[in-house]
Structure 1
Amino acid sequence: MSEFSFANLTPDLILDAIESIGIYPESGLLALNSYENRVYQFRADDNCRYVVKFYRPQRWSDEQIQEEHQFSLSLIEAEVPVVAPIQRDGQTLFEYQGYRFTLFPSVGGRQFEMDNLDQLEMLGRYIGRLHSVAGSQTFTHRPTINTQDYLERAREAILSSQLLSTYMETPFLTILDQLIEKTQNAYYDTAQIRLHGDCHAGNILWSNDKLLLVDLDDCRQGPAIQDLWMMLNGDRQEKAMQLDTMLCGYEEFHSFDQRQLGLIEPLRAMRMVHYMGWLATRWQDPAFPRNFSWFATDKYWEQQVLALKEQYAALNEPALKLIP
């Protein structure tokens, strides 16, 4: 099966796959926003709503997916509010005609408010609880955050895609290579724990005065600050206040090494480059040119030159400090 092939994942195949594990949809399939995998919501004959996720072929091994599932289930057992896969006869990962899939309960809620300090403190508390569980053991099969994957391989993917025009190649690669070198020098090894890995506002729901963490598809090993820094926005003083608020809740459950504050901007730079590499790698999937058409335009690469220059400047600034 081709790495990018979802062509055979027809509605009939999806329904047959779901029914193969004893769940019988009564409603139609509502496609949810997911580019990496294929995700659908439906209502079954038990009057419950579910979400089914079909994994992108060749992205994760069975062992890596099952490790993610076990992590989610261990968090649920510790009463950390995450959405974990549903077990059927002790299994969470299923296969049907070459496609691997998982079932989740359907959950709802409002998007997390990044400028709400009460919600930020609650989030810090939840992430502290998550990290307390995460630190009890390590992943064996999931990847680790590192500069080779996030920077060097991403650069190779961008060049291999041939989406950079001759006009933009020199200015873009000049600042990209400068940023990569600066980031590699600034990023350092520190304590590694299991992480949510992609903890941004889009993966946090607010419902019934509680927060709910969703989508552990990118969980991996890395520094604890990875699950905190994406909540920071605004000027330096605002970021310091937001981080201080989160850590007030976080440190009720897990200690935090403040030396990791020096990793915030390197991690931001790594995420920027990795995102471009991800788009380039996935360009063969028809969903990507259709939804990210701007990625192949000179205007986009011009904007990235400016963004990378700004991030290079941020790497030269002193690390963020907490409010005394």
Structure 2
Amino acid sequence: MTDEVSKFFFNLTPDRVLDAVEASGVRATGRVMALNSMENRVYQVEIESDGEPESRFANFRVAKFYRPGRWSVEEILEEHEFISELAGGDIPVVAPLKFPDGSTLKKLKEYEIWYALFPRVGGRIRDEYSESELERLGRLIARLHLIGASKRFKKRWKIESSEYGRRHLEYLLSSKALPDSVAGHYQRVVEQICTVSEPWFKGVPLLRVHGDLHLGNILWDNELCRLVDFDDTMTAPAVQDIWLICPGRDAEAVKSREIIISAYESFREFNRETLRLIEPLRAFRIVRFSAWIHRRWQDPAFPRVFEEFGTEKYWREQLIALDEIREIMTVVPAGVY
């Protein structure tokens, strides 16, 4: 992303947002509200209606402007196609709307910035789940994976080995993001995690998954459970869409995970040996998160939100978490988790 495009993306104006929405053939009222998103720029836009709206959300559109340089057009379209497949299979997701020419992706006139429009939906994030809600979620994930396994991504990224973790480690080392006081220790810990986990990935089936299915990406509207934000959709083991929902190691998290998996198995087989991948996947997420922040540091929003990033304290806390993962992986027998 060039400096000029970066500046434009960081400072999208309401007029640009309104013009983008009206390219879909609707008329905007002029009311625009920025929504919470670090990676992309997302806005809620009110549109005019000729009659009584069908629902309280019908007069709104959500405009998502993709960060330049993050995804190729082909990768974004694969995301859109997967979401549309899921919607066609009665999976409650939020599919992108089509523009008059039938496409789901448009480019701004001035710069190589691509955007899509989505309907606004209702729902709330829940921090606690009942057993029946966990069961419902498990069945929903299994149905998502049945569709996910029916085709393959050609362009989206993969977690198919420890190379995924090594790639982000290499970025942190080559970019000098790590201070000298922790770089050596950090590298040794992550490399050991990668080495130990490498054989665990061999032979594990891969499929299209949500990729970032934590509680913040699950909306509940009364009894309806809806999955949102497929920005990180990828090819990965099925367990990737399960561990983030209950990421803890305590008895309650293990119990919740078991409820989800048992319900999942009523629709699709789940290999419980792959539960041992949770710890390396946790480590890869930690390393990738730091690499992501460092790559985005020129975005004014990032220093404001991640005030401690790059400090000795930050990296020490990262090392404590990674050391704990390494210890668990090297002490707990393979296949037991």
Could you tell me the TM-score, scaled by structure 1's length? 0.91
Task: Please report how far the alpha carbon of residue 222 of structure 1 lies from its aligned counterpart in structure 2 after TM superposition.
Answer: 1.1
Q: 1:286 to 1:127 in 2, by over 3 A?
A: same
Task: Please report how far the alpha carbon of residue 9 of structure 1 lies from its aligned counterpart in structure 2 after TM superposition.
Answer: 2.5
**Amino acid in the other structure paired with 2:80:** H
Aligned counterpart, 1:106: 120
Distance 1:249 1:306 in 2: 34
Matches within 5 A, 1:1-324: 1-2=1-2, 5=6, 6-7=9-10, 9-46=12-49, 48-89=59-100, 90-97=102-109, 98=111, 99-147=113-161, 150-316=164-330, 317-318=332-333
Aligned counterpart, 2:54: none
Higher RCO, Cα 8 Å, sep 6+ = 1
Task: Please report how far the alpha carbon of residue 257 of structure 1 lies from its aligned counterpart in structure 2 after TM superposition.
Answer: 1.9
| Contact 1:145 1:221 (C-alpha < 8 Å) held by counterparts | yes
**Amino acid in the other structure paired with 1:203:** N
The alignment's C-alpha RMSD in Å is: 2.2
| Contact 2:10 2:299 (C-alpha < 8 Å) held by counterparts | no
Q: Name the % identity.
A: 42
| Contact 2:166 2:191 (C-alpha < 8 Å) held by counterparts | no
Q: 1:106 to 1:75 in 2, by over 3 A?
A: same
Q: 1:171 to 1:144 in 2, by over 3 A?
A: closer
Task: Tell which deviates more after alignment, 5-14 or 56-65.
Answer: 5-14
Task: Please report how far the alpha carbon of residue 84 of structure 1 lies from its aligned counterpart in structure 2 after TM superposition.
Answer: 0.9
Task: Please report how far the alpha carbon of residue 186 of structure 1 lies from its aligned counterpart in structure 2 after TM superposition.
Answer: 4.1
Structure 1, unpaired ranges of 5+: none
| Contact 2:163 2:194 (C-alpha < 8 Å) held by counterparts | no
3-state SS in 2 of match to 1:57: coil
Task: Please report how far the alpha carbon of residue 262 of structure 1 lies from its aligned counterpart in structure 2 after TM superposition.
Answer: 2.2
**Amino acid in the other structure paired with 2:264:** Y
Give a deviation string over 1:212-251, Cα, whole Å, max 9, x none.
1001111111111111111224444333321221123212
3-state SS in 2 of match to 1:246: helix
Distance 1:127 1:287 in 2: 33
Task: Tell which deviates more after alignment, 296-305 or 233-242.
Answer: 233-242
Task: Tell which deviates more after alignment, 189-198 or 141-150.
Answer: 141-150
Q: 1:313 to 1:307 in 2, by over 3 A?
A: same
Task: Tell which deviates more after alignment, 275-284 or 118-127.
Answer: 275-284
Task: Tell which deviates more after alignment, 101-110 or 226-235.
Answer: 226-235
Structure 2, unpaired ranges of 5+: 50-57
Task: Please report how far the alpha carbon of residue 65 of structure 1 lies from its aligned counterpart in structure 2 after TM superposition.
Answer: 0.9
Distance 2:92 2:336 in 1: 29
Task: Please report how far the alpha carbon of residue 14 of structure 1 lies from its aligned counterpart in structure 2 after TM superposition.
Answer: 1.5
Task: Tell which deviates more after alignment, 131-140 or 162-171.
Answer: 162-171
Task: Please report how far the alpha carbon of residue 177 of structure 1 lies from its aligned counterpart in structure 2 after TM superposition.
Answer: 3.3
Task: Please report how far the alpha carbon of residue 32 of structure 1 lies from its aligned counterpart in structure 2 after TM superposition.
Answer: 1.3
| Contact 1:150 1:271 (C-alpha < 8 Å) held by counterparts | no
Distance 1:233 1:115 in 2: 14
Distance 1:16 1:139 in 2: 32
Give a deviation string over 1:50-94, Cα, whole Å, max 9, x none.
210001112111111111111111111110011111112321111
**Amino acid in the other structure paired with 1:42:** V
Distance 1:215 1:96 in 2: 22
